[in-house]
Amino acid sequence: MKLKYKSTQNEIKSAIAIDRINVRHYEQNWHYHDEHELIYYIKGKGTRVVGDNLSDFGKKDLVLVGAGLPHLWKNNDEVEYEGLDLIVIKFDIDHPGFSLLSIAEFVNIKRMLNLAQSGIRFCPKTADKVHGLLIALTEADHAMQIILLLQVLDILSKSNKYQTLASQEFSLSKSSSEEDRLSRIINYLSGNYLNQITLDDISREAAMTPNSLCRFFKTRTNKTIFQFLNEFRIGKACELLINGNLSITEVCFETGFNSLTSFNRVFKELKSATPRDFKRRYQVLNSTINHKAYSA
């Protein structure tokens, strides 16, 4: 998984490129491109990385990614058996088709597109409001696609239920050698998070001295290497606590922590709840849902 530059594949570049992907398995590289991208998971779940933000996602995940912002959606293994349904819309706001955005009436959309440089996740209720329009977009002709997309962007720009993802300080050099190096570090961390990773291990992988490595990673992600690693491990822990029957102790060791005390401390720092409280919250939620389904 290397960081790649991508663009729309049309020989005559269109204002919009749309894909509705309905498959058993869909894999991305960590990548960026010149277009804004709206990603909507109708069905599916996994982990998403947007800039320096790593989070779990599920159905109704609706995210607007700004031009040039690196991102990756990685599906959970069990999704291969359940299938995926997602809509991916890339659009170039510098295309003549979007010249209307320059007028005062679209100031809210322009403001939102600027905010998207950090990535914006909209709440499920907002996703419900644009669900039908997004489906229609996948079936419309090119002219109608622009009209419908402007409608979608107008609705999103008026929502106050959203979360920005990447930190404002996040920056990523576009030099290919540095892209490869950062990608190699992130790949190593995500592929070896179950092991007890040392700074020397990562330094050898990156072919850098420990001090240079720490400066390099912090400058480009606004996080230390071990902050990033802990966030990745806690993301995996949340997945196990929600979906599995493992005990808290088992989850601790299944996600690369070698101390229950350390696991509890880091989990509470990142999620503002203990692992036990987090697990209980979802058990109560599942119990309520199951009871309502049974009563119906």
Tens digits of pLDDT across the chain (296 residues): 445 656 554 434 678 999 999 877 666 777 888 899 999 999 988 888 888 788 889 999 999 999 888 888 888 766 555 778 999 999 988 888 888 888 888 999 999 999 999 999 999 999 999 999 999 999 999 889 999 999 999 999 999 999 999 876 565 544 455 667 788 888 899 889 999 999 999 998 888 888 889 988 888 888 899 999 999 899 888 888 877 688 999 999 999 999 999 999 999 998 888 999 888 877 665 554 444 444 44
The pLDDT of residue 289 is: 41
Is residue 237 within 8 Å of 274, Cβ to Cβ?
no
Is residue 153 within 8 Å of 134, Cβ to Cβ?
no
Give the DSSP H or E segment for 238: helix 225-243
The pLDDT of residue 296 is: 46
- For CA atoms 101, 107, 112, 114, the dihedral sign is positive
The pLDDT of residue 169 is: 59
**217 three-class SS:** helix
Residues 148, 152, 157, CA angle at the centre, nearest 5°? Answer: 145
The pLDDT of residue 158 is: 95
First-to-last C-alpha distance (Å) of the chain: 46
Give the DSSP H or E segment for 32: strand 31-33
* Separation between Cα atoms, residue 200 and residue 216, nearest integer Å: 15
Q: Residue 95 corresponds to which tokens in the numbers above?
A: 């295309």
The pLDDT of residue 275 is: 92
**256 three-class SS:** coil
The pLDDT of residue 173 is: 47
pTM: 0.61
Which residues have a Cβ under 8 Å from the Cβ of 117 and sit 6 or more positions away? 66, 67, 68, 69
Which domains are present in the chain? 4-164 (2.60.120.280), 176-284 (1.10.10.60)
Residues 189, 204, 262, CA angle at the centre, nearest 5°? Answer: 40
Is residue 256 within 8 Å of 193, Cβ to Cβ?
yes
Q: Where are the beta strands (DSSP E) in 119-220?
A: 120-122, 162-164
User: Partners of 20 in the beta sheet?
Assistant: 87
The Cβ of residue 268 has, within 10 Å, a number of other Cβ atoms equal to 15
User: Partners of 17 in the beta sheet?
Assistant: 90
Is residue 248 within 8 Å of 275, Cβ to Cβ?
yes
The pLDDT of residue 293 is: 41
